[in-house]
Amino acid sequence: MIKITVPATSANLGIGYDTLGMAVSLYSHFTFERADKLTITGCPEEFQNENNLVYVSFVDALAAWGEPAFPVAIDIQTDVPVARGLGSSSTCVVAGIMAAAALTGHTVDRAELVRIATEVEGHPDNVAPAILGGAVCSFTPTDSLPQCLRYEVSDRLRFITVIPPYEVHTSEARKVVPQEIPLSTAVWQMGRIAGMTRGLETGDLDLIAAANDDRIQEPYRRRLIPDYNAVRDTCLNGGAKTIWISGSGSTLMAVTDDTIVAKFLQVKLREQFPKCDTHILTCDTEGAQIEYL
């Protein structure tokens, strides 16, 4: 039996649409073992079948290595909510691939995991930080492997994470984003991506806040999150330096470097938005982990 732990991720980090992502200290745990028939526990009944993304990814990875599929018993225990912009699908994809390697004796490095996971997921912005840990800028050159630039994130930073009780599906969130942008907007974004990565590395809150001024996706996606304005005002008035939509939402993530401020803000958020889950997270530095039980 093996256990695989995969961190949640926050994609885009405001300014880095489809390029930046960061692993955070919220986790999904998966156990796998060979079995006589496929069984999946720990998730809603409608996902306890061969269409479960964990098992689909498991089978896809086996096929990539020329291995036949075989039945397994999978148990899923997760704190990462579905369709909230915290990379829940990426945790499933990464776990399935790692389990396929472990149960067939394949040795794969993290670059190979990123490659296969990107093929399954379609883009690396969530799977790369889930595998590598830290903050990651990723892109895929034409006819080449994904390229991932990993950044250490200052351990002083705290990410106050507000998870509303409603979903925003990525497919819907992509529909509201313009397919073409002016050159001036592209230039606006490029410098700020560099500012964001440097700010995260150094813990420079002023730089993070200055960089976090997106013009590509957040002005459109915030309309899909009814609580956006109220949560944003509460966070900024409560001591957070800036806030972004995590992935395509509905989760919102505010940033501070003061643990006391983060805790006071968490109390205030829970009072004002009792239906939302609120966490104080740090950047996960290890990425996906595997252990034999």
Four-point Cα dihedral 268, 270, 273, 277, nearest 10:
140
Residue 27 CA: distances (Å) to CA of 68, 122, 183, 289: 29, 22, 39, 11
81 is in an annotated binding site: yes
Closest listed residue to residue 31, CA positions, set 54, 57, 59, 63: 54
For the record, the structure tokens of 234 come out as 């509460």
238 is in an annotated binding site: no
Four-point Cα dihedral 46, 49, 54, 59, nearest 10:
-150
87 is in an annotated binding site: yes
**For the chain, where are the E strands, in sequence order?**
2-11, 20-34, 39-41, 72-78, 135-139, 147-151, 158-163, 242-245, 252-256, 277-281, 289-292
89 is in an annotated binding site: yes
288 is in an annotated binding site: no
Looking at the chain, how many residues does it have? 293
Closest listed residue to residue 11, CA positions, set 221, 212, 247, 174: 247
90 is in an annotated binding site: yes
83 is in an annotated binding site: yes
91 is in an annotated binding site: yes
Which residue positions form the known binding site? 81-91
Which residue positions form the known binding site for ATP? 81-91
